[in-house]
Amino acid sequence: MPPGSFTTILLGVYLAVFEVWIRLTPVWSRLSVVPLCVALTLFLLRARRRGEFLSPLDFGIHLAVVLDLLVEGLAVGFHEGHGHVLCAAGFAVVLFGYRGWQWRRVGSRLAQLASSPAGARRFPDAASCMDESKDWETGFLQVFRSGAESWRLGRRTPATMFTGPDVAFLSSIGCSTQELFDFVDDFLVYGEPDASTALEVQRLRREYFLGVQQGRSSPHRARMEDLPAKSASVDGIAWLPRLLVKARLKLRGEMPDDLMYGCGGDRPFLRRMGTDLPEFLRWVRDAGDDDRKVIDQLKSRAGVR
């Protein structure tokens, strides 16, 4: 769907519904609003699964249009005049204004990515990628960049972002499409982690995958409900127990699809503690199963007693 067309459709429905309500009694307005808003919400959720929103906030603003319809239909009931046109205009300014601003940010990040040393080499199959121990970094940056271009074109799901050769290449270095999708998506929406950070994290995962796991993917996947809570703490440091588990799952390639090592909670936490995603993952790798060693390293870096 071309940029902005989804928003245009929603605002068109918004205006049309009020034009119909003007001609109906309050009873019919109230009876029609619930099924209408349920249908629109399902429409929005389907669009989100297809990757049609630029960010969670973009989805939230669109959802606010539906909620406004629900409130107007239930609480007001009787409608007259054309004040809804001003409401639609207000929503249009917010929606298109936000989308325009977000697209400018995405454009600057794509330009930043285009200037990175990704090279021009393409890998035809997984076997050739594994033979080229030096070129995998170029291939990874290249797939990151092509994924970002796919995102710009509206292919914002792991299944649509990458080509067959991309998938084979990622598999050969122990990376899933979901994991790289998460890095690309967060980079374009939030500006981090950048491609070089993703590369350093993948370097550690690849070494573990080829060295410890002998190039064989783990058959296990963690369950979200088995992770420590976000509020869980150790030595008074919240988030750390969860991050320790996430880092080990990342090394072993056992992350569930709904989990990201380096998410919007991990990045600010590690910044506050004076480290970053690759270094913390390296600490976890070197410590093996010794949580205390990682905890003490982190506390020492952050100057926490």
Tell whether the model's pLDDT for residue 96 goes beyond 60.
yes
- Banded model confidence at residue 32, pLDDT cuts 50, 70, 90: confident
- Banded model confidence at residue 2, pLDDT cuts 50, 70, 90: low
Residue labelled with tokens 């890998």 = 123
Largest CA distance in the chain: 72
**What 3-state class would DSSP assign to 25?**
coil
Instruction: Count Cα atoms within 13 angstroms, Cβ side, for 187.
Output: 27
Tell whether the model's pLDDT for residue 125 goes beyond 50.
no
pLDDT at residue 121, rounded to an integer:
43
For residues 9 and 196, give the distance between their C-alpha atoms in angstroms, rounded to a whole number.
39
Scored b (16 or more CB within 10 A) or e, 110-122 reads: beebeeeebeeee
pLDDT at residue 83, rounded to an integer:
76
Query: What's phi and psi for 296, nearest 5 deg?
Result: -65, -40
289: its two tokens? 């199963």
The per-residue pLDDT for range 191-227, each reduced to its tens digit, is: 999 999 999 999 999 999 999 999 999 999 999 999 9
pLDDT at residue 279, rounded to an integer:
97
Nearest to 295 by CA among 232, 246, 284, 247: 284
Q: Hey, how many other C-beta atoms are within 10 angstroms of the C-beta on 178?
A: 18
The per-residue pLDDT for range 58-69, each reduced to its tens digit, is: 999 999 999 998
CA 231 → CA 61, 132, 235, 273, 294, distances in Å? 28, 43, 13, 17, 19
109: its two tokens? 């990040």
pLDDT at residue 241, rounded to an integer:
97
Which of the 8 DSSP states describes residue 76? I
User: What percent of the chain clears pLDDT 70, i.e. is strictly above it?
Assistant: 90
The per-residue pLDDT for range 236-287, each reduced to its tens digit, is: 999 999 999 999 999 999 999 999 999 999 999 999 999 999 999 999 999 9
Tell me the residue type at 169: F
pLDDT at residue 77, rounded to an integer:
58
Cβ(208)–Cβ(251) under 8 Å? yes
**What 3-state class would DSSP assign to 265?**
coil
Measured CA angle at 166 (ends 161, 167), to 5 deg: 85
For residues 160-168, give the mean pLDDT: 95
21: its two tokens? 């309500």
- H/E stretch holding 291: helix 291-302
22: its two tokens? 């003007």
Query: What's phi and psi for 266, nearest 5 deg?
Result: -65, -45
Is the pLDDT higher at 125 or at 292?
292
Cβ(167)–Cβ(246) under 8 Å? no
Q: What is the mean pLDDT of the chain?
A: 89
Per residue, the 3-state secondary structure of 227-252, as one string, reads CCCCCCEECCEECHHHHHHHHHHHHH
170: its two tokens? 């990622």
Tell whether the model's pLDDT for residue 79 goes beyond 80.
no
Tell whether the model's pLDDT for residue 78 goes beyond 80.
no
pLDDT at residue 119, rounded to an integer:
43
Residue labelled with tokens 């940056």 = 141
Predicted TM-score (pTM) of the model is: 0.83
Domain range summary for the chain, segments of one domain joined by +: 5-107, 116-211, 224-302
pLDDT at residue 81, rounded to an integer:
64
Residue labelled with tokens 């350093």 = 200
Tell whether the model's pLDDT for residue 148 goes beyond 80.
yes
Tell whether the model's pLDDT for residue 132 goes beyond 80.
no
